[in-house]
Amino acid sequence: MATDMQRLVGMGEDDEEMGMGMKDDDDEDADYDENGGEHGNVSGMVEIDGGSGMGTGAGDNRFQQHHEFQEQVGTPGGGNRRSRPVEEKERTKLRERRRRAITARILAGLRRHGNYNLRVRADINDVIAALAREAGWVVLPDGTTFPSKSQGQMPAGGNSAVVTSSSSHVPSQQPPSVSLKGVASGYGSPLEYNACPMKDVFIPSPSPYDLSSTSRSQTSMVGDGEAQRDNPPLIGGSIDTINEKQTADITPRLPERDFAGSPYVPVYVMLPLGVINIKCELVDPDGILKQLRVLKSANVDGVMVDCWWGIVEAHAPQEYNWNGYKRLFQMVRELKLKLQVVMSFHECGGNFGDDVCIPLPHWVAEIGRSNPDIFFTDREGRHNPECLSWGIDKERVLRGRTAVEVYFDFMRSFRIEFNEYFEDGFISMIEVGLGPCGELRYPSCPVKHGWRYPGIGEFQCYDQYMLKSLRKAAEERGHTIWARGPDNVGTYNSQPHETGFFCDGGDYDGFYGRFFLNWYSQALVDHGNRVLSMAKLAFEGSCIAAKVSGIYWWYKTASHAAELTSGYYNPCNRDGYAAITAMLKRNGVNLNIACVDLHTFNQHESFPEPFADPERLVWQVLNAGWDVGLPVVSENALPCLNRVSYNKVLDNTKPINDPDGRHFSSFTYLRLSPLLMERPNFIEFERFVKRMHGEAVLDLQV
């Protein structure tokens, strides 16, 4: 039943059009009766205290209201539904419609003209919270509000106790410790109440910036690059319990850790995707040279560049053209910068953030036209030419070669062509592409097939070669009927609770589900093992890295559906990254994990925060790697331009209070762009590089 406050505000017209939260007439009448007709609405009105700027309600008089309610129900005219005239019912409906219309106009005006970030089903609590933030106040998830004047005592008494999220600990230097839960109860779907318990992993105390509910970040990317905006946490509970006793002074200048004297972590900058064109020519060498010099002035250690299979071996098998890369590498070496190189065996273009189009080699595309099963295929039979299916890793379908042999020949050609750069240590690391976007995962979320964040994606195992492997696994298990993909998994944009496979208690945890997911995830691990073992031969003695994707949406549900379709068998009762890190350890490969710059609070306004947890995902993967002794390198998932994002990267790179004193081996900034070169942004970037190098900065906020 809606609260009195929410019934006063009503629902917006856009909600009615979308069919969201629309009460039927009988429910409206029932609510009217239960609240004593119009008296229930009047008693629930909110008074705004102009002196303190805080919302106060009639919560202290609830017992009296309840007594009055009982008296109204007991009287002949007190709201007995069966005796109420039809005309009174109609008047009630009309009043509700008017309230909704007025509320819709208010919220629309605040969104359009005031630029307020209000959710679709906003109520008076959200409006008051937004106004309080605009005035510079701090609003906690439980509704507690206090001014931002100094870092004084936190609210005490009332409803100031906040549920602590294990992914956001308050730094030890801030007494008393407080941490925030991203979304409080009261606005959730059933999934919020069925959120799974979190895996036990070491989580370092994050930056005080994690506590800022008013911070803003730039346009961001998730997964393959989905654009997002930083939003404050939703406000839960009632504002009735807020009073002047709960206010305290908080400083807007949040303290920073002092990284002076901390371990030196090299910083690299990823060059633009189109620095080498499709003809393998260096684009705008003068412009690149100027930008490299600017990076050198900031004491950046080096740069990273993609070596595209679709450019170098574009026209015929084993005919390699390295001309553009030779010129670029020579330019970088003359500036005495280091170089990291990515062996990119995937297609560029079609995903969020891709500003160039680099397809797979032409001769591979010709083979695909006659045999489309060399590409990953979904349940509907749609083929994805973003990368080759792992089903042909050992199938001689590429002009007499297997996919693994094609990858090895490419890597060996690179090693021979640039041997001198390896010998003098100029090339510091080789990252081997293992799937879409260079990441070890299935292309389960293809934008070209209609996927949009936060869809769960689809399994990609329906080409003839993957199905052949599945049939073999089912026969070995003794259940030939299991030689199929699950048929109740929804579509690319489904949510877990909408499917029979991924919902709580769904088939993913049944006998067949466990068999299928074990096979599906093991195929991912086997593919990585095959390609990386070849990379060890081609780049013997060199530092090699492999990238694990950060599929963090739906992380707080029991099934972790988006991770399952990507090949990470990581439900709440199983560590899906242990097998991957063990495979990387066997091959002596560094672990690269992205999204170390993401805050759990930074979620899209349309999607509740409890479903996603990039911070906890990062630390689960990091702990899985560090447990087996893997060196860890990293990169950002979003364009980092502000201090909040940089501090998040620093806190993950050099964890505070880590008992073993571990830190990343290097960090790669994505990516070089005109926006980064703007003076204010570059000054902030220079400051970040100094702190990564363990140098002191003069403007440290303490």
- Domain hosting 580: range is 267-376+384-444+521-693
Q: What is the mean pLDDT of residues 591-601?
A: 87
Between β-strands 338-344 and 145-147, what pairing exists: parallel, antiparallel or unpaired? unpaired
Pairing of strands 427-432, 544-548: parallel
Q: Can you tell me the mean pLDDT for 394-410?
A: 98
Check if the beta carbon of residue 589 is closer than 8 Å to that of residue 542. no
Q: Return the percentage of the chain with pLDDT > 90, whole number.
A: 58
Query: How far is the CA of 375 from the CAs of 363, 382, 457, 461, 519, in angstroms?
Result: 14, 10, 17, 10, 19
Pairing of strands 145-147, 137-139: antiparallel
Is position 17 annotated as part of the catalytic site? no
**414 band by pLDDT with thresholds 50, 70 and 90:** very high
C-alpha span between 186 and 5 (Å, rounded): 13
450 has pLDDT over 60: yes
Q: Which helix (H) or strand (E) holds 536?
A: helix 511-538
Per-residue pLDDT averaged across 268-293, rounded?
Answer: 96
Model confidence at 644, in pLDDT bands (50, 70, 90)?
Answer: very high
Q: Give the residue-averaged pLDDT of 566-583.
A: 96
- Of 316-330, 405-419, 658-672, the poorest mean pLDDT is in 658-672
How many structural domains does the chain have?
Answer: 1
What does the alpha-carbon distance between residue 508 and residue 500 come to, in Å, rounded to a whole number?
9
Q: Is residue 65 part of a domain?
A: no
Helix 511-538, helix 578-586: angle, nearest 10: 20
- The more confident residue out of 278 and 170 is 278
Which one, of 416, 410, 391, 396, lies nearest residue 314 by Cα? 410
* Bigger pLDDT: 245 vs 507: 507
Average confidence score pLDDT of the chain = 78
**pLDDT at position 142:** 66
For residues 648-680, one letter each, b for 16 or more C-beta atoms within 10 angstroms of the residue's C-beta and e for the rest, the string is: bbbbbbbbbeeeeebbbbbbbbbbbbeebeeee
- Is 393 part of a structural domain of the chain? yes
Does residue 505 form part of some domain? no
Residue 509 lies in a domain: no
What pLDDT shows up at residue 672?
A: 96
Spatial separation of the C-alpha atoms in residues 367 and 369, rounded to whole Å: 5
Q: Using CA atoms, how far apart are residues 123 and 127, in angstroms rounded to an integer?
A: 7
Q: Residue 623 maps to which CATH number?
A: 3.20.20.80
| DSSP secondary structure code for residue 228 in this structure | B
Closest to 398 (Cα-Cα) out of 469, 279, 318, 312 = 318
Mean pLDDT to the nearest integer, 470-490: 96
Establish whether 635 is a catalytic residue.
yes
CA gap 612, 458 in Å, rounded:
18
At 602 the pLDDT is 60
- Which distant-in-sequence residues (6+ apart) come within 8 Å of 239 by Cβ? 5, 46, 54, 55, 56, 57, 124, 125, 128, 143
Residue 668 has pLDDT above 90, yes or no: yes
pLDDT at 171: 31
Classify 423 in phi/psi space as left (phi over 0), alpha (psi -120 to 50) or beta. Answer: alpha
Residues 60, 63, 65, 71: what is their CA dihedral angle, to the nearest 10 degrees?
-170
Average pLDDT over residues 580-593: 97
Q: Which residue has the higher pLDDT, 640 or 111?
A: 640
State both tokens at 518. 């074990």
Nearest-Å Rg of the Cα atoms of the chain is 28
What mean pLDDT comes out for the span 95-120?
Answer: 73
Q: Residue 339: phi, psi to the nearest 5? A: -140, 130
What pLDDT sits at residue 129? Answer: 78
User: 439, 563, 609, 615: which one is catalytic?
Assistant: 439
The two tokens of residue 228 are 């997002």
**3-state class of 371 per DSSP?**
coil
pLDDT tier, 531 (very low <50, low <70, confident <90, very high otherwise):
very high
Residues 6+ apart with CB under 8 A from 152: 248, 249, 250
DSSP state of 460: -
What pLDDT, on the 0 to 100 scale, is given for residue 86?
Answer: 79
Strand pairing category for 267-270 and 666-669: parallel
The predicted pLDDT at position 92 comes to 85
Q: pLDDT, tens digit, for every residue of 303-342? A: 999 999 999 999 999 999 999 999 999 999 999 999 999 9
DSSP 8-state assignment for residue 577: T
Query: What sign does the CA torsion over 308, 312, 314, 317 have?
Result: negative
- Tens of pLDDT, residues 191-231: 443 445 445 455 555 444 443 333 333 333 333 433 333 33
Count helices and strands in the chain by DSSP H and E runs = 22, 14
Distance CA 230, CA 220 (A): 8
Instruction: Check 28, 347, 431, 635 and give the catalytic one.
Output: 635
| Tokens matching residue 107 | 């919220």
Query: What would the mean pLDDT of 366-382 be, rounded to a whole number?
Result: 97
> Tokens standing for 618?
């990062």
User: What phi and psi, each to the nearest 5 degrees, are found at residue 283?
Assistant: -90, 130
